[in-house]
């Protein structure tokens, strides 16, 4: 049946039923549409949850921002603290906790970007060490030499340009006696000596690094004479020119041994300058054969004195000898130099020998003699090896030969002894290095 036929052929009841069906279908369509919209909404909600879950990284960024805020706050705190902290930088030497520190130049406080306001230095026991801040307030140092084997503490304060104060503390220990060496020298600072006086340095420890030690020692003369050192063993260094010092000259000894390693783990501590003057040129010649002594001063003979030298059994050393000590009176005991009787006592023991002057370490002297007959002087050699001059007991008569020579001699004067028949005195037996020629002398230098 065609469409037109059906329409034409439908009655009122059929049309009403048709309308009902259409309404039912419309409801279904609407219901499906709502369902699709609901699904889309649910999907959107689930998607929103997923999006929020996927954006959990955004939560981390937010947390990072919060941490950044904390860091920023800490930076602000640090910056504020820095603004309150002094820019002054204090440096203390030696470093905190160091040992074997020098007793001369080690202790020092310096500051940059500020000025020192207060420095204190004490021993571990609290004894204060005097020091001084420099005029520009940039440094401080102690005023005197420190003690060996001592713990010192330094506390320093300084202000920067803004008036903010910085503090620094340190402690250190100076070199011990066991780990240091010193040189005992002659002649003394400010003294006047004869032309034969060498600079002689005796070290209290054996020196193995001789070259380094010798480099730290210089001797110069206003005369321009070249001065060379010679080592006698490992604890003695003598220095002299080729010929006697020029009379009237000035000699300067500089010891720059602070921190110099003289032996393994043993360091020098001396930093000193010594100056002495050379007096007139006096050389006295003892002739054991003629039994006289001729005193020459600045090239002119000023006196001839009768003497009595060592007997044939006890001859006097020959050679150039330097007066190293003077005693108005002294004791001479033969037992101390090997002259003993059968009972072990000295062959002689004279407690008041007048006007004695040492020529060697082994006991050779030139001295006054009051116990011998006056006739022996100039005629016979009778002594145990010394050179004797007529003198008086008590050393109180200025008119005796012994007194005259004593009063007209000084440490460093040269006494040449000849024609005794004995050997030449050893160069290290006293200050007698002049008995070595220049080639021998310079061969003993480590510099």
- Banded model confidence at residue 35, pLDDT cuts 50, 70, 90: very low
For residues 384-407, average pLDDT? 97
Q: What pLDDT, on a 0 to 100 scale, did the predictor assign at position 17? A: 53
Q: What pLDDT, on a 0 to 100 scale, did the predictor assign at position 31? A: 46
For residues 194-214, average pLDDT? 98
pLDDT at 27 over 50: no
* Mean pLDDT score across all residues of the chain: 87
What share of the chain has pLDDT > 70, as a percent?
81
Written as six digits, the tokens of 192 are 């006047």
DSSP state of 339: -
What does the alpha-carbon distance between residue 88 and residue 163 come to, in Å, rounded to a whole number? Answer: 10
- Which of 248, 236, 312 minimizes the C-alpha distance to 280? 248
pLDDT at 65 over 90: no
What share of the chain has pLDDT > 90, as a percent?
76
- Banded model confidence at residue 18, pLDDT cuts 50, 70, 90: very low
What does the alpha-carbon distance between residue 285 and residue 405 come to, in Å, rounded to a whole number? Answer: 12
Model pLDDT for residues 111-131, shown as the tens digit of each residue: 999 999 999 999 999 999 999
Model pLDDT for residues 86-116, shown as the tens digit of each residue: 999 999 999 999 998 999 989 999 999 999 9
What does the alpha-carbon distance between residue 110 and residue 325 come to, in Å, rounded to a whole number? Answer: 47
pLDDT at 6 over 50: no
Model pLDDT for residues 263-280, shown as the tens digit of each residue: 999 999 999 999 999 999
| DSSP structure string for 30-88 | HHHHHHHHHHHHHHHHHHHHHHHHHTHHHHHHHHHHHHHHHHHHHHHHHHHHHHHS---
**Pairing mode, strands 365-369 and 387-390:** parallel
Q: For residue 6, give the H/E element and its range.
A: helix 3-9
Alpha-helical (H) ranges within 179-286 are 210-215
Q: What pLDDT, on a 0 to 100 scale, did the predictor assign at position 8? A: 43
- The b-or-e profile of 16-36 (16+ CB within 10 A means b, else e) is eeeeeeeeeeeeeeeeeeeee
pLDDT at 38 over 50: no
> Could you tell me if 137 and 102 are in contact, meaning their C-beta atoms sit under 8 angstroms apart?
no
> Could you tell me if 425 and 318 are in contact, meaning their C-beta atoms sit under 8 angstroms apart?
yes
Least confident of 78-82, 312-316, 402-406: 78-82
For residues 304-309, average pLDDT? 98
- All structural domains of the chain, each given as residue ranges with its CATH number in brackets, are 89-173 (2.60.40.3780), 181-279 (2.60.40.3710), 282-433 (2.40.440.10)
Q: Whole-model pTM?
A: 0.75
Model pLDDT for residues 316-357, shown as the tens digit of each residue: 999 999 999 999 999 988 777 777 777 777 777 889 999 999
Q: What pLDDT, on a 0 to 100 scale, did the predictor assign at position 80? A: 60
Higher pLDDT, 32 or 134: 134
């Amino acid at each position: 049946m065609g469409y037109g036929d059906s329409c034409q052929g439908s009655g009122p009841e059929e049309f009403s039923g048709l309308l009902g069906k259409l309404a039912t279908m419309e409801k279904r369509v609407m219901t499906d549409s709502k369902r699709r919209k609901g699904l889309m909404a649910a999907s959107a909600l689930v998607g929103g949850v997923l999006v929020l879950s996927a954006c959990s990284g955004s939560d981390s960024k937010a947390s990072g921002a919060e941490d950044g805020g904390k860091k920023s706050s800490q930076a602000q705190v640090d910056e504020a603290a820095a603004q309150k902290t002094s820019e002054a930088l204090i440096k203390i030497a030696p470093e905190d906790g160091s040992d074997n520190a020098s007793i001369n130049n080690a202790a020092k406080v310096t500051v940059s970007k500020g000025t020192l306001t207060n420095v204190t230095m004490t021993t571990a026991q609290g004894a204060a060490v005097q020091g001084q801040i420099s005029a520009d307030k940039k440094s401080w140092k102690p005023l005197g030499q420190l003690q060996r084997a001592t713990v010192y503490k330094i506390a320093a304060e300084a202000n920067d340009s803004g008036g903010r104060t910085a503090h620094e503390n340190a402690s250190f220990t100076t070199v011990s006696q066991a780990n240091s060496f010193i040189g005992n020298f002659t002649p003394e600072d400010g003294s006047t000596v004869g032309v034969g006086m060498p600079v002689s340095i005796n070290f209290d420890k054996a020196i193995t690094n001789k070259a380094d030690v010798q480099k730290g020692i210089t001797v110069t003369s206003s005369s321009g004479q070249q001065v060379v050192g010679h080592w006698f063993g490992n604890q003695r260094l003598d220095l002299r020119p080729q010929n006697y010092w020029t009379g009237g000259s000035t000699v300067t000894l500089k010891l720059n041994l602070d921190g110099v390693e003289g032996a393994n783990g043993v360091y020098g501590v001396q930093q000193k300058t010594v100056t002495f003057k050379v007096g007139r040129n006096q050389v006295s010649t003892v002739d054991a054969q003629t039994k006289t002594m001729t005193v020459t001063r600045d090239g002119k003979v000023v006196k001839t004195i009768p003497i009595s030298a060592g007997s044939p059994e006890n001859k006097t050393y020959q050679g150039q000898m330097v007066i190293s000590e003077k005693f108005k009176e002294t004791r001479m005991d033969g037992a101390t130099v090997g002259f003993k009787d059968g009972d072990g006592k000295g062959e002689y023991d004279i407690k008041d020998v007048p006007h004695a002057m040492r020529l060697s370490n082994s006991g050779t002297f030139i001295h006054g003699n009051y116990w011998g007959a006056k006739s022996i002087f100039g005629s016979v050699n009778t002594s145990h090896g010394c050179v004797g001059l007529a003198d008086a007991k008590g050393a109180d008569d200025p008119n005796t030969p012994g007194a005259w020579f004593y009063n007209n001699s000084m440490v460093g004067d040269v006494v040449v002894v000849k024609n005794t028949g004995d050997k030449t005195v050893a160069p290290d037996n006293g200050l007698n290095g002049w008995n070595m020629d220049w080639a021998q002398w310079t061969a003993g230098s480590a510099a």
